Amino acid sequence: MWLIRGGTARGPWPQVKVHAATSIGPQYRRVKENPRLMRNIEKFIRDNVPRFEEVLCDFLRIPSVSADPRHREDMVRAAEWLRKYLEGIGLDAEVIRPPGSVPAGHPLVYAESEAVPGAPTILVYGHYDVQPADPLEEWSSPPFEPTRRDGYLVARGASDDKGQLLTHVFSTEAWLAVYGKLPVKLKFLFEGEEEIGSATLSAYLRQDPDRLACDCIVISDTAQFSPGQPAITYALRGIAYFQLELEGPKTDLHSGQYGGAVTNPANALVMMLGALVDERGRVAIPGFYEAVRPISEEERQMLGLLPFDEDVFFERLGVDGGSGEAGFTVLERLWVRPSFDISGLTAGYQGAGAKTIIPSRATAKFSFRLVPDQDPKKIALLAEEYLRKICPPGIRMKLALLAQCPALALSLRSPWVDAARRAIEAGFGCPPVFVRSGGSIPIINQLYQSLRAYVLLVGWGQESDNAHGPNERFSLADFHRGIRTSCHLWQELANVEVKDSE
Amino acid sequence: MWLIRGGTARGPWPQVKVHAATSIGPQYRRVKENPRLMRNIEKFIRDNVPRFEEVLCDFLRIPSVSADPRHREDMVRAAEWLRKYLEGIGLDAEVIRPPGSVPAGHPLVYAESEAVPGAPTILVYGHYDVQPADPLEEWSSPPFEPTRRDGYLVARGASDDKGQLLTHVFSTEAWLAVYGKLPVKLKFLFEGEEEIGSATLSAYLRQDPDRLACDCIVISDTAQFSPGQPAITYALRGIAYFQLELEGPKTDLHSGQYGGAVTNPANALVMMLGALVDERGRVAIPGFYEAVRPISEEERQMLGLLPFDEDVFFERLGVDGGSGEAGFTVLERLWVRPSFDISGLTAGYQGAGAKTIIPSRATAKFSFRLVPDQDPKKIALLAEEYLRKICPPGIRMKLALLAQCPALALSLRSPWVDAARRAIEAGFGCPPVFVRSGGSIPIINQLYQSLRAYVLLVGWGQESDNAHGPNERFSLADFHRGIRTSCHLWQELANVEVKDSE
């Protein structure tokens, strides 16, 4: 069930009448709300907002760039900063050093609250590492000196993910400060390698999954649908990323003396990659769509109701239109259907002017974004078989699968979702919409697979936060609403009956 | 007429019985040969061979690398060296400075002999500039210290083109030394920019074509068919060389968030370039073949008789086979049919590992090799029209024609060819075969167009001379045979009746 339950979506998007789903049973018990309970918490938040902002600024001043070895010590500082803060609000917290198998790894931070009998255990995942700040000259203020501007906090990591992860820390602080306890058991797991592949956490998950055992995973590292319109993300696409190398003659050849009879690896590359897509914009590999779930009428209708303007979308990207698989809307192409994209092409002469050669080799990097239930390894086999079949004589072909992860699709018929929906409505003043993401986050897949717990992707950021670019920012209003929502979330999640959940 | 006249081709190729053509009329008068005349010349050559080799070595020691500004003075030295030598053998010679319009140009060397009433005027073209010697570490002896090895002279420029151009200088020296005069009027034109585009000569040709007026142009800058098998080259392919730039979104985009709906410029590039060739290996642009002359049965038979082993050809290139236009042999694909080759591809991420982007732009360099009577400018229009038509939405396309020149095809029914054939038979001891070349030499086209004179492409080099690579070499036997042939050539060309020639 993923329609917004009874009511009218509010906000700067068209008034959309949505209907309560009839298929939801009483999978969770809704305890009677205690208005005073949340009122006290909210008062604490209001009183502490200036301090929360200062604490976030303090955190943002640590240049915890995981990709840059020069910031190794800053990574340790950021982890220690988190541990100390978590300890300070009353949790058991520790820094976990990366295992010997990940020598260049950065520490994990782990903390937990006391057990709450009968209530679920919630794992909060986030990451304290940030993207490099380059190009520095495009920042209007120093990336690690947080600056308030037009209601935003501008700094590297403000939205991705320091600002978002702290909302859950501050909500926990509020509960503990006001009531001395939490309605659920919380486990915090913060890593320092989300931007560089999560090797340490991945190793830790294989080594000690029991410690992280939980009923539901809460992650705020995604975006709202648009400003003022919060969202719950219920699906991510998977990926199979390849490098294709074609080798022809042992050296570059003169294109006059040899052109027309010698197979040119660059010609072969465009022919073979071109043959991966048919004239309807579909991937032409036999069997590629075999496991793809057809889009349901229900989902199609809901996506159609989202306030999404295709013209504005393309205009913002600087193009006059787009293209893709025939028979699907832009949002369907981005979220529900698999895609094929070339990320890099390399062959022959790339300098100025003309050089008349047949290059001896040509290389491409490309990926398929996958949807449920496509198996990336099976897709890799199909792709290799197809490419070998169309590879012309005179070419030696190498295909390497550089990265892969399956798609993630969560049922919206879940009490966890309903709890989150209510919390968001309380925190943001409007119900969330339910969205998918075209991207792939392998560590989320791994958490989901390892812990077998529901994953709630509730992000307070915006697509326009420029997460990996210059002048990254986080709306202070979203920051405050995120903290409030998180406070409500612990209460709402407490009402989910663990044994009855899926 | 391009069959070898009466006789049997000799050499390390299959014995091929060729028949005299019956269609040749008496377009030239064959003067009675004076055996003693050539005997004296040949004796002079034999007596002077050691000196000729030393003079060539002297010339090769000047590192006249036209592409490298550090060798500017060496270019002037090489030009002066030539002028002095030409003057020394009794010609009027001068160095012509590049015009102001070609500030980075290198000098021309021009020389001429006395007029010979009733005899044709022959322009000998060559170039004294050489390719850079890099990579130096792959040379087994210093590139500008000529070294004798196994019957070869190893040095940069030995074959391309210093050794070859000097054969005509030494033959002229022989005639003048033995008889004090030449049977034809000779004009020597040597440039220093053949390897970098011939800008100075091109400007000079536009400015002062009358001075270069001639009846026939002799050029030794091509190769024999194989060792021991001299050749006359009667056709060159033309070229139209393009750069195609496709621009999509204003920045690189995340391939997850945008993949499937945003037109990826790299996807568009492979689709568009892939669509330039059909499944039979033909260029798919409508009208591309409109002007292409079909191959005649006569030519097809002759090419089929050439001792060319396709397996050996591919094996030498390090590939297990080739591909090309269906219905044509390898030699036909290389020489008689147009071709399409991509020389460079650039898009997105080219480093190690995976980067999941939709690149904002993608670029290709590619060319069509053209055959008579394809017009490169018309081909460029057709290509642009076709590419614009298949360019998908969301892409801005730029197509630049970086270089172009039409094909050159000379009739073999020419007294000039017959004269050259006889001279080669006298100099090499076996008749030449007639070959085409898949390459394009724009300056030869321009000489042909400007001077409206027949072009005799009689090269003494070998494909295996490694002209642009390390350890360039020139067979001393070919050097000597080239000098002898050139001596005979002046005598044979003298017999061509200019007014009756085409």
pLDDT digits (tens, 9 = 90+) for B162-187: 999 999 999 999 999 999 999 999 99
- % of chain A with per-residue pLDDT over 90: 85
Sort out which chain A residues have CB atoms less than 8 A from B273's CB and list them: 267, 270, 274
| Binding-face residues of A in 227-286 toward B, CB within 8 A | 237, 239, 241, 243, 248-250, 253-264, 266-267, 269-271, 273-275, 277
pTM of the model: 0.86
Strands A433-437 and A361-370: unpaired
Q: Give the mean model confidence (pLDDT) for residues A125-148.
A: 94
- Each residue of B414-437: pLDDT tens digit? 999 999 999 999 999 999 999 999
**CB atoms inside a 10 Å sphere around CB B180:** 8
Residue-wise pLDDT tens digits, B31-52: 445 678 899 999 999 999 999 9
User: B343, B360, B441, B464: which to substitute to probe chain A, counting the most A Cβ within 10 Å?
Assistant: B343
Does B348 contact A365 at a Cβ distance shorter than 8 Å? yes
Residues 459-498 of B with CB under 8 A from A: 463
Rounded distance between C-alpha atoms, residue B368 and residue B115, angstroms: 43
Separation CA A480–CA B91 (nearest Å) = 94
Angle between helices B72-88 and B35-60 (to 10 degrees): 160
Instruction: Report how far apart, in Å, the C-alpha atoms of A5 and of each of A147, A430, B261 are.
Output: 39, 12, 30
Q: What is the pLDDT of residue B36?
A: 84
Question: For residue A327, what pLDDT band results from cuts at 50, 70 and 90?
Answer: very high
For residue B255, give the chain A residue with the closest CA.
Answer: A341
Contacts of B50 (CB under 8 A, 6+ apart): none
The answer on pLDDT for A161 being more than 70 is: yes
- CB–CB of B438 and A259 under 8 A? yes
Closest Cα of chain A to B85: distance in Å? 34
Q: Which residues of A241-265 are buried (b: 16+ CB within 10 A; e: fewer)?
A: bbbbbbbbbeebbebbbbbbbbbbb
Chain B residue numbers with beta carbons less than 8 Å from the beta carbon of A362 are 342, 345
Q: How confident is the model at residue A499 (pLDDT cuts 50, 70, 90)?
A: low
- Torsional sign, CA A340, A346, A347, A349: positive
How high does pLDDT run on average in chain B? Answer: 91
In the numeric block, which tokens belong to residue B137?
């570490």
B355 touching A (Cβ < 8 Å): yes
Q: What is the pLDDT of residue B7?
A: 30
pLDDT, one tens digit per residue, over B222-256 is: 999 999 999 999 999 999 999 999 999 999 999 99
Predicted local confidence at residue B499, as pLDDT: 63
CB-CB under 8 Å, B267 with A340: yes
Report whether pLDDT(A297) > 70: yes
CB contact under 8 A, B343 and A348: yes
Predicted confidence (pLDDT) per residue in B387-413, tens digit: 999 999 999 999 999 999 999 999 999
Q: Calculate mean pLDDT across residues B42-68.
A: 97
Asked whether B247 and B396 are in contact (CB, 8 A), the reply is yes
Across-strand partners of B264?
Answer: none
pLDDT at residue A14 in the model:
28
Q: Angle at the Cα of A150 (from A144 to A155), degrees rounded to 5? A: 15
Mean pLDDT across the stretch A123-139? Answer: 93
Residues contacting residue A46 through CB under 8 Å, at least 6 positions apart: none
Please say if the pLDDT value at position B25 is more than 90: no
H-type alpha helices, A61-105: 72-88
Query: What pLDDT is stored for residue B8 in this prediction?
Result: 31
Reply yes or no on whether the pLDDT at B122 is more than 80.
yes
- B18 pLDDT above the threshold of 60: no
Q: Work out the angle at residue B211's Cα, subtended by the Cα atoms of residues B205 and B446, and round it to the nearest 5 degrees.
A: 25
Q: What is the mean pLDDT of residues A273-288?
A: 97
B480 contacts B45 by C-beta, under 8 angstroms = yes
Give the tens place of pLDDT for each residue, B182-196: 999 999 999 999 999
Residue B370 tokens, joined: 């053209």
Nearest to A322 among B262, B341, B403 (CB): B262
CB A393 within 8 A of CB B322: yes
Residue A123: is it exposed, middle or buried by C-beta count within 10 angstroms (0-12/13-18/19+)?
buried
Average pLDDT for B279-295: 97
- Strand (E) or helix (H) holding A347: strand A339-348
Question: Chain B closest CA to A243's CA: distance in Å?
Answer: 8
pLDDT interval class at A24 (50, 70, 90): very low
Interface test with chain A among B311, B317, B360, by most A beta carbons within 10 Å:
B317
A120: Cβ–Cβ under 8 A, 6 or more apart, which residues? A184, A185, A214, A215, A216, A493, A494, A496, A498, A501
- Nearest chain A residue to B368 by CA: give it: A259
- Over range B205-228, report the average pLDDT: 95
Model confidence at A36, pLDDT cuts 50, 70, 90, reads confident
Report the residue of chain A nearest B257, measured CA to CA.
Answer: A438
Chain B residue at shortest CA distance from A262 = B322
pLDDT value, residue A498: 82
ipTM for this prediction: 0.87
Hey, what are A240's tokens? 């199979």
Position A117, amino acid: P
Cβ contact, residue pair A250, B342, below 8 Å: no
- Structure confidence by residue, pLDDT tens digits, A367-393: 999 999 999 999 999 999 999 999 999
CB pairs < 8 Å spanning A and B? 277
**Chain B residue closest in CA terms to A338:** B260
The tens digit of pLDDT for each residue in B76-95 reads: 999 999 999 999 999 999 99
Q: What is the pLDDT of residue B476?
A: 98
| Residue B353 distance to chain A (closest CA, Å) | 7
Q: CA nearest B388: which of B287, B279, B272?
A: B272
Pick the residue of B225, B246, B303, B319 with the most A CBs within 10 A to test the interface with A by mutation. B319
Amino acid B467: pLDDT: 87
